[in-house]
Structure 1
């Protein structure tokens, strides 16, 4: 049964045609490196000589009368041969070894001899000097994806079937065996037979150079895509500001202008869509080009790592042409210049137009959160030094922000508003006058956008977000409660003892630390597996699950963290009380980021430590202090899909702050919640969503609160 499951997974991952969803039959590879059944391609092209790839939609031109003119995939054909032999063994319950003819368990095959082999003969076959070049693979290698890279069956000469094709005649562009060289391809003016390995190595070097050059194209695509994404954000933010201006203006004339306001707002929406449309299209095209480039580069890298000399020689020109095309591709992007402006008039009729605004805010300003102010000088407005961006609060307090020059010739500064209300933003040059008209900006508050559960919780210790669901571990009720992201209750299920922490695996299962045990549940609450931690832990606390199912548990009593297999087998213990790298003083919480890095809040060392998935130290950040970026009692920690790290930190006044850091530990923002210190300060679970919000568990009062953090 295990072998059958492995073979099914093998088929799904490597041998399934994306058109017919079946196992490849006569696989053919297109110039874009996507492979399909020959018959599927014939049906797909519908008799046309030009057609698009079913996967990437790249234009393809037929080279001959039918799709057989496209090269066959050596790699996939070898895997198909391997599959066929494997199928023959599992269909014959008493298959005998092809060498010793015993009925010992068949453990592999020799593709050259076409024999099924038992374990002893498999080892002996591979160790025999005369058979050392034979194509041998064991069934258990299906478990290791890296072993697939060596599936390179020997290619035999079609004329001399007992001879391997070990030579390549470059003038003839033909692979051949030793007998072919002797008979028809003696060295001379028209023939130059060389060993396959030497020719292949030369082509490998050429292709490696082209792979390196294509990286420049990939980097340029990424950079341009980031610029386009930023400009899309600027458009959205600018339109939100303009919408606010529209609302303020029409509020003064509400009785007479309701209809006009609606029409102008709708026009704004249409103009926003119109302005975004070419950028959205460009972003999509860049994404497709980037994806195609990355796929081509990965294909070539994998192709070269397999080291199949025959395949390298056969596909060298095709790969070289493709990589040449990638390296020489031109990337053009015209920077965003015009922005929608609101032009009020003294009469009821108002207009919207595209104008070049000198001041732009990238994100709607919210108290304590960072936003970027961009100043775009007028054409001909030469600035010898960087200007100062000034901000005046509603209370009349002035702040000056240092601006830095961007690659596009604009200037930008990061602004973290401290108060809510209407602010005036301007630009000056030292002690001189203003360089542009001031911009009025409304700063919103960062009060909770959602507050729920006051009547449902008794002691919510930890929370987790997965997809569109929020999971809450309640210690006193001894259950896990499930909500949607709007705070609507979905269902709950009980736990045998108090749940202290929880995490949701990528497969949807819920893993809970109940102090004495780690328990895995299905999404419906059915217990699937559990193991005890009492042998290792004295005060287990935080818990996180890696992508491969392994589980990390913090222990504040031993000042350690433990790494377990999914079945409870201890893999590694790390730590001990101290302040050196890999040591801890009360590790309070743990989470896993998008790259499977393990992030630990080291509370009494006032820092966060980051490890790889095997608990090897990577880096740390944080220090004790009173500044917004400093730490006092770092407690629960969470990480989003963009790499940001969100930390719950209690300050010296026992007020809880939410701190946001980049993946490298660079501080981004700190904002205060209205949650105060409680004797059970562990009850401050934190979990982030994909739309820039964070849920925080609160024990005084008992509820869950949702804030915006980006």
Structure 2
């Protein structure tokens, strides 16, 4: 049996645990105190700050941030109490083997130590112990035996209290400056803290110590509360475990009684499924015979007529013509193409009942569902639902729910006979929706079924939702999860909203540091959910992950490659993955690779084809062509992905198809082009060739009106999102 470790060994192990840094797992070097009262090595904390993108210091254990002083980590409070533990560690190492412990007071002697002096922090022999008791200079020293030391060394060892030296004047700091809360020396008092209220440390220590201890009162109460809470939580944990066991016993008891009935019901359902399957196969076999007859009739017709023409005389052929042609026409007219489509499907599934009842024959049933995946606004859409088992069950329930507005459209359910039902609905809101189908209170397999409600362009223009209380929204974009991303220029943030308009998170690192933003203008999303932000105030392009981590930052103010002079609009080309940035004052478009390395640029100041006069926004279509809206010339120009000019459309005016200082542009999945106009206060839609289709909106603050529509985005269903800058909102149209 292993020997039980001594008290000194146990104490040493406990102390060494307290002296290990949780980051490097080594003994502390230059220990520093965080605001959460956790202690780490100075070099470990410096590594944490160096690897933090914002240069912040977060506690590795509790994640609480600690403000850094101007001098960095080295300026944090030194954890001087740790040095006392190092002293205790050294003494404990000696106490661990008392038989080898020699007196540390005697000169040139090997007398065995038998006691320990707290004030001297030395081990002493019997002779030195006697001297401590008899000599006046040792009056007040507390000497204890080694047995007592081993039992309570941590309490017995007195901390070394030394007066710190002034780093500026190399003398002891014996004064305390009240206004500054600093230790100072006499020279500091004369040269730096002149006229400040000060006191001698020895005279004021007790009052300040009392103030510090008094401040711990609320902490002690909170600690008591947490201790009580932990006891209560442990008690509740035990109650829940015990209660769970009781419920589990009840569940097992109930289901033991149900198992036999369920096994019997399983057999009935399997037999019914077998009957249903055989019925389907029989139906398909009969259909196959019908098709074989059709095949034989037409094969005989072709063979007879062709052989008659080949072998008969002209007279014979003409003699039979009238009758044969009539028979052929009758054969063609009686042909039904629907006969060729299989009448039976493989969409049978099992639908359990909503709850177990005493009559186990009502538990479960078979059904098959055929739900359309797309619907068109203003048209009545019908889905067919066949409920096969049991036939006497309640009919299905269905509803269509808009994912954008949460608006529910009631569905009509009509029985067609033989367990088959017809579900019909007429969507009133465009965008992504879900069809929810329930039988007996339980959703059928596959429910909810996605339904993409496409908004016809001629019906577009109704406000279905508004996101208010934004701060100068300059641009809007959508990611693959239908989240709404808005650049709020006046707040120096980018906000991300759910499809229903609830705020999810923000990118809000303000300032000029890398990753910070000042006056964000354009936003776009690439194929990996990454968010591209034009940091106009700092003349650069930022790339963030969906969660908000900075991935890359490029650009600076200037006229060189990859430099900007007021970047305002951005898009990601879905064909080549490149990023296009419109530079308002440089009158050009920059092209970056997907990793934001500079590729090329095109355009110059002027009114000719391929030139710009205050370009404001950029977009691309399915083929990769690039569309640039040019506010100064009131037109849209279309380019190849490399910047070759293809065509242009638009001119100044207020009539349909004309522009008045266009600010924003977007191209949807059908290559329809949407342009937001500042002074006309509207959004106009065109074909990719520039043919006018539709416009909506006017100048104002009412729903459907605009004051500077700076940004446009369109989802897969044709729902249009407009950042209404002057009204501090995003309006959503269907």
TM-score class, shorter: 0.3 to 0.5
Q: TM-score, normalised by structure 1?
A: 0.37
Larger Rg: 2
